[in-house]
A = this chain, B = another copy of it.
Amino acid sequence: MRIAELSKTTGVAVATIKYYLREGLLPPGELTSPNQARYGAAHLSRLKLVRALVDVGGLSIAAVKDVLGALDDSEQPTFELLGVVQKAITKAEAVDAADPAHQVVKEFLTERGWWHSDENPAAQALARVLVTARELGHPKFAEKMLKPYADACERIATSDVAYVLDDLESEDLLEGVVVGTVLGDAAIVALRRLAQQVVSERRLGAAREG
């Protein structure tokens, strides 16, 4: 198909598709004349993936590039590539190495048997949350919330891993991890809002009746 049709099918503007082509997020089309190219099913599915990562996942173009680079890399072992995609889809702004939040995160994760290393992007992201909570005057946030969140996340992760290992073909595994993680984040955030409404109504109702 022509670029106009690719745009119509996906709802992505032609200018945006051209930008993705320049940035290498989409492979070049097959030239049919010096200034016209044809695009196929692979472009269509790649473009949908890029949009999901940007729109639903909120990933930067640089992070999308890292994800796609890993998906297209058939040389490295899956385990290595999993690390690359996990890093790309985890937004972590670095926290000063001397900040006590690192120690809180390390102790909490070690106690649960979840500690890997300081460089783990998710551990960095957690430290950033604790620093922000402290700066905003919520010093009890870590102490009160980390444990219930981690308990819930262990259940979530058990379902996530079962979905990837039991429901996907192994050649789709890496893309399945990316899609499942990004869509799962968005679904969990939305369901948390819905549950908060229900739980607070229930509690306020009980308080009125009691």
**Chain A interface residues toward B at CB < 8 A:** 45, 48-49, 52, 55-56, 58, 86, 90-93, 109, 113-114, 116, 120-123, 125-126, 128-129, 132-133, 135-138, 140-141, 144-146, 148-161, 163-165, 167, 176, 179-181, 183-200, 203
Contact = CB atoms under 8 A, between A and B. Distances in A.
A185 B190 contact: no
Given A179-B133, A179-B138, A180-B141, A120 B194 contact: yes
A145 B167 CA distance: 11
A-B pairs, 8 with minimum CB distance: A157-B195, A122-B193, A148-B159, A125-B190, A153-B191, A152-B152, A126-B190, A153-B195
Nearest to A165: B203
A114 B196 CA distance: 10
A8 B153 CA distance: 37
B122 A144 contact: no
A137 to B, nearest CB: 7
Given A152-B155, A156-B152, A198-B114, A126 B191 contact: yes
A90 B136 contact: no
Instruction: Report which residue of A121, A176, A183, A192 has the largest number of chain B beta carbons within 10 angstroms of its beta carbon.
Output: A192
Nearest to A157: B195
Instruction: Report which residue of A136, A180, A184 has the largest number of chain B beta carbons within 10 angstroms of its beta carbon.
Output: A136
Contacts of A121: 193
B188 A52 contact: no
Given A190-B90, A191-B149, A194-B114, A199 B122 contact: no
A149 B187 contact: yes
B161 A156 contact: no
